[in-house]
A and B are shown apart, each in its own frame.
Chain A
Amino acid sequence: MQIDSDIIGLYAGETRLSLVEIEKDLIALENMGANVDLSLAEHIYYTIHVIKNGAGLIGLLKIKELSQKIENVLGLICTDKLIPNPEIINILLLSIDRLMELVRQIDTSDEMDIDEHSVLLTGLTSAVLPDDQKKSITKVRDIPLPCGNHAFQVAEFNLLRGLDQGKHIYILVYDLIRDVQDKKETPLNLIRVVQQHGEMIDSLLDIQTVGTLEEDKSEIDMPYFILLASALTQEQLISKLELKPHQVHQVNNAIADLIHPQNKNEDYFHEKRPLVHQTKKRPFRKSEKKAHHQETLNALSNELSFALAQVNKEQPDTMTTIGLKRIHFVKKQIQHLVELENQKPLSDVLGKLNRSIRDYAFTSAINAKLHLQCDSINMDSRILKRLIEPLSDIVIKMISAIHHQPLDKANANMECPIEITLCAIKQETDTLLKITASSSFSISQDTLLKPISSGKKLETLFITLSRPETNEKSISLEMSIPQDLFIVHGYHVQVDKHHYVIPKLNVHDYLLKAGSESEMWRQFQSSVMFQYNNQWLPVVDISGKHDLSDYQDKKGIIVCRVGDQFFVICIDSTEQTLIDAVCQAPGKHLKAIVGNCIDEDIVMFVPDMGQLAAQVA
């Protein structure tokens, strides 16, 4: 069977895409540390398994071999025996890179060298096994052929892998003349058919039986043996491969000790659970995760404090590049840590947006469609959730604006759907969301700006919204969602059990145990005012609805200044704590680090001081 070059091209194309995905997934896996997301690990395992099987079917030996070795390592991660630390992920990523090179040069891939990567991967597999099992990597076991005069020599590890996946090990016996040639088949086709029903561990052609050129044999024998790991039963295999019972031998005796280990508890390979279809997750190790996070955050916090202190000692013009780089590095590490639990594919969350647009289009009887182009981009789900409403708002108003254009300006059929495309592009420090509405109408910029009343909601997420651009064919606007963490130097305070960081830059005065005297307070229309230095300053409520008596009960007062505007924030904290808070963009308040006293359950909010000042102006 000649494999069509189109099929190889299709395989190469799909495999390249899969490898790009695997690369991203591996990085996500690394960020999870000990808290492995088994479903993600199994997804990667399954993807590489498909690549391997495809290579087997097409006959791409090196791609199959390297995929197999990567799969072995992923199998250990899936079975919770290998924690994907940076070293392991690095080896996997290097191997994926090499696999990509093989796929890019698919025609000559079988001549390319994979020894270096094979050694690394095999070493990895070996290294994580318990001492008593390490030898299974190198230990070769003899599997005698049914005729008894030869034996397969197979690494024990490969047999164990097959058994671990719930497979049976068989020896298939063929005669390449009677069972293949006489049936007008080719050996290559035979191999491909067999590979569709299991994993070929090894195969052996009895070349001695074939004889020499000098022997004048009218009929030659060509015994060919295949060692196959298959989930099929013997009967199923006989039926599927159209074999006779004597051609299928289940291997039992030679691997009896592997099938029935003496101590199952010590031998994870023998736990009969499939790797890919595993539904029962391991117990959620919350305490482990928390301890791990706590420890890492503490270390990073110390590192950050040290780096900041070092840089702050220097004059701005003499700040050391190393110090700044160090801060940047620590910020990145913290970012990985705080994001790892919350990364979700953009497409998953924006699916809700799609539904809301569909609902709007249906109820408004407008023919409109939203196309999402955000494959393989992950973002913090907390940011994404906050994006749904404003994005829906923007898109709906864009659809509405286009739909209600005066007909005399139309140069296209109104029956054509209004198509909005939301395209996400991951950039170095932010994610760019570009919303484009295909329209053949000419729309004034004023009309385009009108729908964007959600701007303020986005501003509170630190998202910048560009001014829409328009031309004759389409309208589009862009929003930039920052991804980097930023550091806020300020006071950690509590207000109604919520934690806040008030930037020191905006703190004019910090008064503890002040304001209990009633004459210092005054209700003015709907606002509460506090007397400070003989001036009445507006009180800003940053946590909820309060009346005058609530404010009087507070433990402290912070007098804030933004530009020329002064205002007051009432707090419950009883002492001043100055910190460097590391914050995330979504509402500037997801996580923060407080010196060495980190509690990862504390979520801190950094109020938008400019917005608060504007409220009371």
Chain B
Amino acid sequence: MSKKVITPGKDIVASMVPEFKKELQDLVVKEGVTELEIDLTGVEMVDSVGLGAFIATHNTLSQKDGKLTVVKASSDIYSLFKTMRLDQHFEIQQEG
């Protein structure tokens, strides 16, 4: 289906992940979005649980031949994703 952009607007950490994952589930599983862009404007930190949310989203979209793109990542988050080689699984773009 169509492309959708989601903007969490706050740090993606354990405390917000259940709600964030619910939103992602609604988009990808229920609405059938296959091209999802997560805009990380205003996101300064991603913890392990938050990282899990990205990976789960990517895994779900992959099963549906979809595509995850993370945009406007801060330099720290961009660095983290690159070091963990997550850029080999989904596209990530740095802010600015």
Chain A residues near B (Cβ < 8 Å): 2-3, 59-61, 107-108, 110-111, 176-177, 180-181, 186-188, 191, 200, 202-205, 207-208, 210-215, 220, 222, 224
Contact = CB atoms under 8 A, between A and B. Distances in A.
Contact of A108 (B24, B29, B46, B96): B96
B43 interface: no
A339 B93 CA distance: 50
- Could you say which interface size class chain B belongs to? 35 or more
Given A203-B83, A213-B57, A176 B76 contact: no
A223 to B, nearest CB: 12
A210 B76 contact: no
A2 B44 contact: yes
A211 B25 CA distance: 13
B21 to A, nearest CB: 6
B59 to A, nearest CB: 5
B38 interface: no
A203 B84 contact: yes
Interface in B38-82: 44-49, 51-52, 55-60, 63, 75-80, 82
B75 to A, nearest CB: 7
A180 to B, nearest CB: 5
A21 to B, nearest CB: 26
Given A186-B48, A187-B47, A213 B80 contact: no
Q: Which 5 A-B pairs have the closest CB atoms?
A: A59-B79, A176-B48, A181-B48, A212-B60, A210-B55
30 contacts: A2-B45, A59-B80, A59-B83, A60-B75, A60-B79, A61-B79, A61-B82, A110-B79, A176-B51, A177-B48, A181-B47, A186-B46, A186-B47, A187-B47, A187-B80, A203-B85, A205-B55, A205-B84, A205-B85, A207-B59, A207-B86, A207-B89, A208-B59, A211-B56, A213-B21, A213-B60, A214-B60, A222-B48, A222-B52, A224-B84
A212 B85 contact: no
Nearest to A177: B48
A202 B83 CA distance: 8
A155 B75 CA distance: 27
A188 B79 contact: yes
Nearest to B82: A61
Contacts of A60: 75, 79
Contacts of B25: 213-214
Contacts of A108: 94, 96
Contacts of A191: 80, 83-84
Contacts of A203: 83-85
B85 to A, nearest CB: 6
A177 B45 contact: no
B48 A180 contact: yes
Contact of B76 (A59, A202, A205): A59
Given A59-B83, A107-B75, A213-B57, 6 more contacts: A3-B76, A188-B79, A200-B83, A203-B85, A205-B55, A210-B56
A203 B56 CA distance: 19
A108 to B, nearest CB: 5
B63 A212 contact: yes
B66 to A, nearest CB: 12
B88 to A, nearest CB: 10
Contacts of B49: 177, 181
Task: Select the residue from B28, B58, B79 with max chain A CB neighbours within 10 A.
Answer: B79
Contacts of B45: 2, 186
Nearest to B63: A212
A67 to B, nearest CB: 15
B20 to A, nearest CB: 10
A208 B86 CA distance: 12
Contact of B59 (A61, A181, A200, A211): A211
Contacts of B76: 2-3, 59, 188
Task: Select the residue from A2, A107, A205 with max chain B CB neighbours within 10 A.
Answer: A205
Contacts of B79: 59-61, 110, 188
A200 B85 CA distance: 12
A110 B82 contact: yes
Contacts of B29: 213-214
A57 to B, nearest CB: 11
Contacts of B55: 205, 207, 210, 222
A213 B24 contact: yes
B44 to A, nearest CB: 7
B51 to A, nearest CB: 6
Contacts of B51: 176, 187, 205, 222
A212 B28 CA distance: 11
B75 A110 contact: yes
